[in-house]
Amino acid sequence: MDRDFRPPGLPEHPLLLEATTFNGMVVVITGASRLNGLGAEMARQFAKAGASGIVTISTQNSAEDGIALSQELLALGAEKTLHITADLKNSHQVAEMAAKIREQFGRVDVIVNNAGINPKEAPFQKLDKKEYLRAFYANTLSAVFVSEELLTLFPKDGGSIINISSTVGVYGNKNQAAYAISKAALIGFTNTMALELQSRNIRVNAVSPGLVSGTEMTANLPDVATEAMRARSPHDLATQEDVAKVVIELAHPQSTITRMNIEVDGGLGSATPLARDEAAKAIFQELRSKARSAAKP
């Protein structure tokens, strides 16, 4: 399967990436609590591209994974790393996080707001109202709080902020109203920040993955559900590396892209709404069946 497809919105010829592309720059990535997660993969790609300082933020107490990831990033070329555990829904903890970054690095060149949750799923009229607030705080306001606190650490020549949204925030999905609203709001926030920070040469973009292979979510999907997605997609499911490479390119210091939302979903977004709905229905039915089987004594 050809992995070189270009998501709409990126230039036809990608910017040259070298081991010194991000030399001297400090990158902050939230949502890096698992070694096999998207946040960790993005950190690895930045280290390979020469980022001097990499700060990974975990919303869970994962000290062992944080230490292991930091050691891996140093081996890949990063000069200095820092792993912080913070509740990004809490503005006071975010302020403390920013103070640590200021003390250790004194600057920030790239922010990747990747932290988020998958709230409970149900038809919107049956969903507990608390789930809407959970999703909005974790998926939207966390990016607001982090960006606001770290904004003063950007140098005069600017930088880049990348918010990780979702294709569900673009197209919607049955039984995911809370998630869809929070991710759609994140895209709106991206557009607004891009306009407001343009004069400071800070570019702001969003990346919206679909189902990504190798993640905890897809690992738990039954084969028939995954095949239903592949059958309706012109490419295979996107990988974490696919997503990370798009993020790297948007953050590239020579990039001029801003106020864009790039979908990385193996092309599923280009399918008809009916095809997307059929794929989602197949996944939902298989997950429901699996849950029922697990609930039987």
CB 54 within 8 A of CB 78: yes
Between CA 40 and CA 78 the distance in angstroms is: 14
Backbone angles phi, psi at 205, to 5 degrees: -135, 165
Sign of the Cα torsion 215, 220, 221, 226 reads positive
171 labelled catalytic: no
Largest CA distance in the chain: 62
CB 113 within 8 A of CB 164: yes
Between CA 278 and CA 263 the distance in angstroms is: 20
CB 24 within 8 A of CB 52: yes
Given the residues 132, 137, 171, 179, the one annotated as active site: 179
Sheet holding 80-85, edge to edge: 80-85, 53-58, 26-30, 110-113, 159-164, 202-209, 261-264
Sign of the Cα torsion 123, 128, 133, 135 reads negative
Element (H, E) at 57: strand 53-58
Active site amino acids? 179
